[in-house]
Chain A
């Protein structure tokens, strides 16, 4: 009796130690968010004046000025619609290719898979210059096309293809065979049977692709030059006065506006999101 009690106590103590240690480690993960939001409510002078997390005077105006300073709402919308487009396209394209690689037999399948896999190892910076020239040749510089095409078909898209392939491989074949018996075409089997069964993989691809597009920086930096067409990451580094002086309070208010909605969505769907990422790494 007493033995089990002390053992329990030790376990509790052990757990308490763990929890405290984790709390300490968590500080640099949580604190930047708190500081960002609190500074978004401060005046420029106060940001550097006091380390307190509670603003002396709540500058709600910052959050209005953000929209007056540049077409921030428009830029927000750009990021949103581009991310949604890229996600939809990627889902479609990668699940088709992934399905073919997993389920259909054709000469050269293995070679193609290997070939595609090489893209995963090459940083975007390597191919960005020729891609820039190609987009210029096509007249697509300073449009959103490069921001849609490059992620959909670049390494991110290939990554999604492999994710889908691995998932399809693990699915039982029987249902699909039954579908074929019932006279469904390949496309029909893919659409009506394979896709509905791969919701977790589709969700993973969707989440990863969306976040990747939402946070894209190098491509917008190079391809987009008019303010109206900026995406959020580009807009964030852009809060300066007409003489190039940074407007810190606006920048932090805007950063809060860009980050907080994503964080809220993340908190709501955190289980799903975390599982998606787990899926991506283990299978990809």
Chain B
């Protein structure tokens, strides 16, 4: 009885926030996936939200990932804001500092059984400022190595997991293996994330090896590209592309998922592409370097837009989507930042494509990993980096000078 009363009051409260007491509300929620399984799950969340808010429907609006942040900006700046939506990590600080994201803390703290403290602290770094919460990470997905087991077997090589078990899966071995794979199979040894390492995924290409070497792209407002660790790491990468010719070079295609490359780096959501791939495969941790194990995590969060008209309701929906139950349900696609889910056995077994022992790689990486660096000026930083990174990826490039040039370009922005 009590709960029913409560339910009624919250409904009334929520309705009060809306245009009219009787009007059915519709929340507009932007996402970048068009994947049917994802949509089915998201619609399930909207359905269960009706338990508390029977009159509320949620309309998911898919914006293609390539233009996502740009189109979202046009919607916000154009006076046509969605109520809530996904946000990519690199946009989070920009949006938060521009004041377009709503502080969710009041709603999250009040939400029944929400337990905000359950989220791992490092995973919240991008999304909180003081006690303000600008977004809740729904995907905290570490980068892992996807490998083509068939190509490893054919080349007579031990696969990365076997090497990792022996403690030999490091950057030197990685370079060696990639070259052997290329020489024996004629396929590329390694492909950058989605083949976009020279274009839209600059960071995803450079960051893991730099961190493995113990460096960072920037930290404490200091550019790190020109530090010795980073230079060494990038030099090795450059050699792999242009000397060993084992990494797919700029302007070429070597799609891992259709068998064009023996290894790639990506997040576990891509496992959904593997059943169609037609070869044996596995996932392994990133190779280590002088800096030891240093997993890299990519994030995406759910946010509420300040310009929206149904902020309270939208915030409640965010609280609903990121409660324990729903985070656990989403874990099969989007690795969670909730410790309770992460540590659960269910998570290790949640992905029917990836065997539990490999899922442990993922869980371990989430626990130890660090997110990609973000910055409120990240669009400018990326744009400033881009031409200099282009210069880096030429066969005759002076790696050290190019990295220095990157730092010169981005230091004022940091």
Contacts and interface: CB of A to CB of B under 8 A. Distances in A.
A210 to B, nearest CB: 26
Interface in B52-84: 61-67, 71-72, 74-75, 77-80
Contacts of A5: none
A245 B65 CA distance: 9
A245 B77 CA distance: 27
B80 A243 contact: no
Interface in A211-226: 222-223, 225-226
Contacts of A222: 74
A238 B74 contact: no
B255 A244 contact: no
Give the residue among A132, A226, A238, A242 with the most B Cβ atoms within 10 A: A242
Contacts of A69: 34
A240 B80 contact: no
Contacts of B258: 44-45
Interface in A39-77: 44-45, 48, 69-70
A242 B36 CA distance: 10
Contacts of B200: 244
Nearest to B195: A245
Given A48-B253, A225-B71, A240 B61 contact: no
B253 A244 contact: no
Nearest to A142: B80
Residue among A44, A69, A222, A226 facing the most chain B CB atoms (10 A cut-off):
A226
A259 interface: no
A135 B253 contact: no
B393 interface: no
B38 interface: yes
* Size bracket of the B interface: 20 to 34
A242 B65 contact: yes
Nearest to A45: B258
B80 A141 contact: yes
B194 A225 contact: no
Contacts of B114: none
Contact of B67 (A136, A141, A238, A242): A238
Contact of A225 (B38, B74, B253, B255): B74
A39 B35 CA distance: 25
B196 A244 contact: yes
B78 A135 contact: yes
Contact of A240 (B66, B74, B77, B270): B66
A132 B73 CA distance: 13
A242 B34 contact: yes
A225 B64 contact: no
B270 A243 contact: yes
Residue of A142, A225, A227 ringed by the most chain B CB atoms within 10 A? A225
Contacts of B260: 45
B97 interface: no
B269 interface: yes
A234 to B, nearest CB: 9
Contacts of B195: 245
Interface in A233-281: 238, 240, 242-245
Interface in A120-168: 132, 135-137, 139, 141-142
Contacts of B38: 242
Contacts of A141: 74-75, 78-80
Nearest to B259: A45
Contact of B66 (A45, A70, A223, A244): A244
A242 B33 contact: yes
Interface of A: 44-45, 48, 69-70, 132, 135-137, 139, 141-142, 222-223, 225-227, 238, 240, 242-245
20 contacts: A44-B255, A45-B258, A45-B260, A48-B253, A135-B78, A136-B78, A139-B79, A141-B75, A141-B78, A141-B80, A142-B75, A142-B78, A223-B78, A238-B64, A240-B64, A240-B65, A242-B34, A242-B65, A243-B65, A245-B194
Interface of B: 32-35, 38, 61-67, 71-72, 74-75, 77-80, 194-196, 200, 253, 255, 258, 260, 269-270
Pairs A-B, 5 closest by C-beta atoms: A141-B78, A244-B65, A242-B33, A225-B71, A136-B79
